[in-house]
Every structure is written in C-alpha cells, then in structure tokens.
Amino acid sequence: MTSSNISLTQFLIEEQRAGRVNPQLRLLIEVVSRACKRISIAVGKGALGGVLGDAGEGGQANINVQGEAQKKLDVLSNEILLEANAWGGHLAGLASEEMDTSQPIPDKYPRGNYLLLFDPLDGSSNIDVNVSVGTIFSVLRCPEGVTSPTDADFLQPGTAQVAAGYCVYGPQTTLVLTVGHGTHAFTLDREAGSFVLTTRGMTIPQETREFAVNMSNQRFWEAPMQAYIGDLLKGSEGPRGKDFNMRWIASMVADVHRILTRGGLFSYPLDSKCAAKGGKLRLMYEANPMSFLVEQAGGAASTGRMRMLEVTPSGLHMRVPVFMGSKAEVDAAVGYHQAHD
C-alpha cells in the first residue's frame, strides 16, 4: 500500500499514541533520521563537497577496526551520527562499525535507556563511483541498572532489537524503519527537507527468481553453497525448475532494498577467504538490523544454519554468513546446508 502526506514525525507520533514507541525511542529515531539527512546531503555533493576518496594524511589511508581503508565519507558519516546522538538524552551508549569499542554517552549529557549501533556508510566501495550507499542502524535496550555501558552490554541477540532501519542514498533517499510492527518506507522530500511515508507495511514476495551474491567468490564457498547456486544456475532444466536472474550492487543496503521492494535472495555466505573471521558481514551493524526489517516484511533471515536473530553475539564486530529475503528461497538455501551438514 502506498501512502502520502504523512511525515516521519507524524507517523512516529501515531505509533506513540498506539503504544508502539515511547517518547525516548521516538526522539532517538527522529535524531537518527536527521543525521541521515545530513549524510544524504554530503553524499549528494560528491566531488563538489570534497568528500570523495580515502581518509588519511600524506597518502597514508586510515585503517579501521575491520582492517579496511576508511573513506572520507565513512569518517564524516560516523562523526555526524555520533554528534547528533550524543547530547539528546535518549541513549546510554553507541557502537559503530568504524570504531574499535563502544562509547558511553559523555558525563556532561543526560543518559537515556537505549543503545544505538550503526554502520555509518555501508557499501563504501561504491562512494567514488556514484552508486547507492546507505546507513544501517539497530537499537537495543540498555540493561537494567547499567549507567555506563561497556561492549558486553551490547552483546544481545537480534531478537532483543526494539527498532532497526536503514537509509539508502540512491536516486531517492529512502529511510526504511521497523519498531517491531511491520516495515515502512519513507522517501526524503528534498525541497521540504522531511521524510514522507511512501510504503506502509512493505511485503516481500515469498517466492522469487532473483538472487544476489558476489559470484567471483564461487570457488571459495562451502559445498552446500556450491550445490545451492549450482542448482539455481541450471535454471528451468535443473531441480529448481525455473530460470533465475542475478543482481549484485555490492552495497548491502541497496541490494536488500531491492529485495524488500520486489523480492529476491541476498547472500554473503561463508567462504575460505573470510572463514577465519566467521564471514564477511557484521552481525550487529548489518545482519541483525537487516534481518529484523526483512522478517517484519514477511521474509526470512538465516546464517544458513540458524535464524539470524537468535545468534548470540560473541563480540561487537562479530561476522556471520548471511542469507535473507523471500522466505521460500531462504528456506531452500537452508535446506542445502541441512542436507550437507
């Protein structure tokens, strides 16, 4: 269903009246959405804003906790989110894909009840080539009685999330949000400067003929993944009995947005290059928030061996294999893993 003339602010007030968000969580989401607007403006300026290229000085790139070279926009987006959220009184602590450890809210500001985790700019290898990137966020409750949270307080399974969302910076800037009652999309009206509800209750088709995976890693995959994709590629002649199309943007936000919109399967499986780390994508900043959104839209999300949202995190930057999207297709991929294990 497509809606119009309902701003994010109005939507959240209505959710509050319905008892689905409290004022502190509403404020938190408003602040994150404002930060996303600022990031959207910076992304949109591109070369004109001097924001493209690697961060660092004297030709030396900054390397983040993930062992990856940071882009200027990674650093800027992280700063925008930190600065916007530190003083509002709704958070007890923050954690970011770009920072080694979590940060409690500084003593000079009031502390709230929530923990915010984010990937400030996902898909950053696409920044310099003018392809969609995005921000992903996840909200947890700060454990009872904890006033200065440490990393351990963030290590909650995805089922404990109270809200999650992403903002995709593409031809349109779109914020997709769940507070546990469906997944809803808001498009940024650039003239008015506000997010407007454009799809209430996104629904992922159960069946699909489209998958998203980095095929260049094929030879590094485990046996079940080789078998699963091998059968998809056999098309209508093979055991799946239908032809599949493939798309890979290499921005998880953009790939998952397509899947939320028209169905599909997204996968970043385990491969021998990332096996030592447990996978490529991060549980807390990428897999969990996206899984929450996908499940709330009627889809499914798995590591291939268990429901993503039930994984017990072992560390803030834990990595996992990822399968998410149309339910029947995720179930099929999981079936190949069960058959091989």
Residue with smaller CB distance to Mg ion, 122 or 295: 122
According to the binding rule CB under 5 A, does residue 255 interact with Mg ion?
no
The nearest distance, CB 104 to Mg ion, in angstroms, is: 24
Q: How far apart are CA 304 and CA 337, in angstroms?
A: 6
Q: Which of residues 213-232 bind ligand AHM (CB under 6 A)?
A: 214
Q: How far apart are CA 278 and CA 98, in angstroms?
A: 19
Q: How far apart are CA 183 and CA 134, in angstroms?
A: 17
Closest CA relative to residue 161, chosen from 195, 120, 118: 118
According to the binding rule CB under 6 A, does residue 124 interact with ligand AHM?
yes
Residue 85-124 contact track with Mg ion, rule CB under 5 A, x = bound: ----------------------------------x--x--
Beta carbons of 262 and 268 less than 8 angstroms apart: no
- From the list 80-88, 119-127, 289-297, 329-337, the region that binds ligand AHM by CB under 6 A is 119-127
Q: How far apart are CA 53 and CA 39, in angstroms?
A: 16
Angle, alpha carbons 139-167-149 (nearest 5°)? 20
| DSSP β-bridge partners for residue 173 | 169
**Residue number, nearest CB to Mg ion:** 122
Residue 263-302 contact track with ligand AHM, rule CB under 6 A, x = bound: -----x----------------------------------
Question: Which residue in 123, 149, 269, 304 binds ligand AHM (CB under 6 A)?
Answer: 123
Which partner, Mg ion, ligand AHM, none, binds residue 113 by CB below 5 to 8 Å per kind? none
Residue with smaller CB distance to ligand AHM, 198 or 251: 251
Q: How far apart are CA 256 and CA 134, in angstroms?
A: 11
Residue with smaller CB distance to ligand AHM, 52 or 250: 250
Closest CA relative to residue 46, chosen from 131, 137, 135: 131
Tokens at 304, concatenated: 């291939």
**Residue number, nearest CB to ligand AHM:** 252
Beta carbons of 210 and 244 less than 8 angstroms apart: yes
Q: How far apart are CA 268 and CA 217, in angstroms?
A: 10
Question: Which residue in 69, 99, 250, 328 binds ligand AHM (CB under 6 A)?
Answer: 250
Beta carbons of 262 and 226 less than 8 angstroms apart: no
Q: How far apart are CA 11 and CA 239, in angstroms?
A: 45
Binding-site annotation, residues for substrate: 122-125, 214, 280
Task: Name the binding residues for Mg(2+).
Answer: 97, 119, 121-122, 286
Annotated binding site: 97, 119, 121-125, 214, 280, 286
Binding site for ligand AHM (CB under 6 A): 68, 119, 122-125, 214, 250-252, 268
Binding residues for Mg ion (CB under 5 A): 119, 122
